Amino acid sequence: MRAMRQDVSNKAVTSVGEALPGTRRYTRHTIHELGQSIRERDLITYEHCRRVAIYAQRLARSMGWPRRAARDLALAGLVHDLGKTWMENSILHKDSALSKAEWHEMHRHPRIAARMLLAYGVPDELVRTVLYHHESYDGHGYPDELAGSDIPIGARLLTVVDVFDALTSARSYKSAMSLTAARDRIAAGAGTHFDPEVAAAFIHLLDTWPDFLLPVHTEPLEGPDAHSLWARHDYFPI
């Protein structure tokens, strides 16, 4: 056991040491490790982040984003709720509506995540995408009540796929909404909650991609897929 622990820690140190902060490799490695820390804290939050990452990448590719930019957006998606790992269980796992004070606490999670990512040397653009994933196109979101094009484009994409996944997955306090009902909800929020162009692109994607919904895993994945965002599900097929 001791030998195995030694090996794991050596491996982790070696893999960080090989990549300098600021390089793409360092960023990718750091985000994946932080993603795993979400997984160890709360599987439901991690699985949500993983699906959001994949949906975000699909959406970005469908809107003509270069492959690399779409992958960077997926990395932001994978840690967009990192700040929730600092929420108390009484809030994170609450199976009824949050009180006003609890909502106030929960609303801190984008800033907490941004602070952590900055501390780890993650590039500003990616941090801003995470920080603003709860902004609303009409300026009624949080944390900074940004509106329209003041919200980074990556964050505007994440907002749509984040809400879509929250609607279509079951939680302890609600059942999963059907894909059709979730589609209608996204359409209804175009121009208010969501960037209308992004919402339209996402609806088009839903309408043209058979079996778009990703499975919801409630048990930890095992084997080689367990630690890879990409192994289990395809890249955008272009």
Residue 26 or 77: the one with the smaller Cβ distance to Fe ion is: 77
# residues contacting Fe ion (CB under 5 A)? 1
Residue 81 or 135: the one with the smaller Cβ distance to Fe ion is: 81
Q: Determine the Cα–Cα distance for residues 204 and 54; give it in Å rounded to an integer.
A: 17
- Part in contact with Fe ion (CB under 5 A); list of ranges 27-35, 78-86, 119-127, 214-222: 78-86
Extract the tokens encoding 226: 């367990």
Contact between 165 and Fe ion by CB under 5 A: the answer reads no
Extract the tokens encoding 183: 């589609």
Q: Which residue is nearest to Fe ion (CB)?
A: 81
Q: Which helix (H) or strand (E) holds 204?
A: helix 196-208
Candidate list 72, 81, 165, 195; residue touching Fe ion; CB under 5 A: 81
Minimum gap (Å) between residue 186 Cβ and Fe ion = 17
Extract the tokens encoding 168: 């279509």
Residue 76 or 201: the one with the smaller Cβ distance to Fe ion is: 76
Judge whether 141 and 134 are in contact, CB under 8 Å.
yes
Residue 26 or 137: the one with the smaller Cβ distance to Fe ion is: 137
Q: Determine the Cα–Cα distance for residues 215 and 4; give it in Å rounded to an integer.
A: 33
Minimum gap (Å) between residue 134 Cβ and Fe ion = 6
Contact between 42 and Fe ion by CB under 5 A: the answer reads no
Q: Kindly list the residues in this chain that would bind Fe ion in the complex (CB under 5 A).
A: 81
